[in-house]
Amino acid sequence: MTTQPIIEARQLNKTYSIDDRRIQVLQDVSLGIRAGEFAVIQGSSGSGKSTLLSLLSGLDRPDSGTVRIQGQDITKLSEDDLAPLRNRTFGFVFQSFHLVPSLSALENIMFPAELNHNPNAADEAGKLLERVGLAARGPNMPHQLSGGEQQRVAICRALINRPAIIFADEPTGNLDSRSGQAILELLLEFQREYHTTLLMVTHNPAIAQSADSRFQLADGRLAPPVAN
Ligand SMILES: Nc1ncnc2c1ncn2[C@@H]1O[C@H](COP(=O)(O)OP(=O)(O)OP(=O)(O)O)[C@@H](O)[C@H]1O
Ligand SMILES: [Mg+2]
């Protein structure tokens, strides 16, 4: 296989300073993920999984090292150049949903499409809602929805611009096992259908087993990838 990875990290280092203490959270982390893959990041709490995801997705910058997305080093991009990448190339799903509380379910899903000047935002958001079984819930506000329903809305929002990559940080972490399983199946269904690359942080060994590749973080370092 010689295809260039869609996500390629080289020698990432990240430290946080608290008072006068410096914590090295990531040390010389390198990885490659191919387009269309389902990859997972595993590791104990505090091992740096969310930090790594935020570096790979341009939400934060490394102290040193490079992150190439579709060949482009995003660590050098300005905030203005990162914004469209985050909106169009990436979709995000977080453990705590992160819906905008003052917008309805439908409006939350439409939001990234409107930023992208898509005139069919409402139509496409409605179709996605229907697809995840929430057709009647469009006008509802997030607080009127269950956790599993909020996460389905968040997935629709992540998908509406047909991103090349979905970053999911413990997307089932706040859900019971049944809704968690449903969310996982939904993400994998869309990943296959849209040929999206899915990079997921998970503590769930069964989910990790089903991935195309696994990355294990321990003490800020990455073990060699495990092919399933
Ligand atoms: N903004 C920050 N400032 C200082 N320290 C931070 C910051 N963000 C994270 N850390 C520290 O970096 C380390 C890694 O945090 P991170 O959130 O990446 O871990 P994680 O593997 O995602 O953990 P969890 O499984 O609990 O979500 C932790 O020790 C954390 O306390
Ligand atoms: Mg985390």
Question: For the segment 116-135, what is each residue's pLDDT rounded down to a tens digit?
Answer: 999 999 999 999 999 999 99
Residue nearest to atom 28 of ligand 1 (CA): 46
Residue nearest to atom 16 of ligand 1 (CA): 48
Mean of pLDDT over the chain: 93
Q: To test the ligand 1 pocket, which listed residue (19, 25, 61, 169) has its Cβ within 8 A of the most ligand atoms? A: 25
Establish whether residue 202 lines the binding site of ligand 1, counting it when its CB lies within 6 angstroms of any ligand atom: no
Domain ranges in the chain?
A: 7-96+163-227
Residue nearest to atom 12 of ligand 1 (CA): 25
| 1 pLDDT higher than 60 | no
Rounded Cα distance, 161 and 194, in Å = 11
Establish whether residue 195 lines the binding site of ligand 1, counting it when its CB lies within 6 angstroms of any ligand atom: no
Contacts of 110 (CB under 8 A, 6+ apart): 121, 122, 125, 160
Ligand nearest to the CA of 44: 1
Q: Exposed, middle or buried by CB within 10 Å (0-12, 13-18, 19+), for 115?
A: middle
Residue nearest to atom 26 of ligand 1 (CA): 45
| 2 pLDDT higher than 60 | no
What percentage of the chain exceeds 70 in pLDDT? 97
Rounded Cα distance, 144 and 25, in Å = 37
Q: How far is the CA of 46 from the centre of ligand 1 (A)?
A: 5
Establish whether residue 62 lines the binding site of ligand 1, counting it when its CB lies within 6 angstroms of any ligand atom: no
Nearest to 135 by CA among 150, 147, 125: 125
CA dihedral 51, 56, 57, 63 (to 10 degrees): 60
Per-residue pLDDT tens digits for 70-117: 999 999 999 999 999 999 999 999 999 999 999 999 999 999 999 999
Q: Which ligand 1 atom minimizes the distance to the CA of 203?
A: 25
Look at the pTM and tell me if it is higher than 0.85. yes
Which stretches of 19-86 are assigned E, i.e. beta strand?
A: 21-33, 38-43, 64-69, 72-73
Report the largest interatomic distance among the alpha carbons of the chain, rounded to a whole angstrom.
53
| 227 pLDDT higher than 80 | no
- Amino acid 218 reads A
Question: What confidence category does residue 139 fall into, taking pLDDT thresholds of 50, 70 and 90?
Answer: very high
Establish whether residue 220 lines the binding site of ligand 1, counting it when its CB lies within 6 angstroms of any ligand atom: no
Give whole-number Cα distances, 103 to 100, 142, 153, 169, in Å. Answer: 6, 8, 12, 23
Query: Could you tell me if 187 and 168 are in contact, meaning their C-beta atoms sit under 8 angstroms apart?
Result: yes
Per-residue pLDDT tens digits for 46-65: 999 999 999 999 999 999 99
Pick the CATH number of 7-96+163-227 from 3.40.50.300, 3.50.50.60, 3.40.50.2000, 3.20.20.140: 3.40.50.300
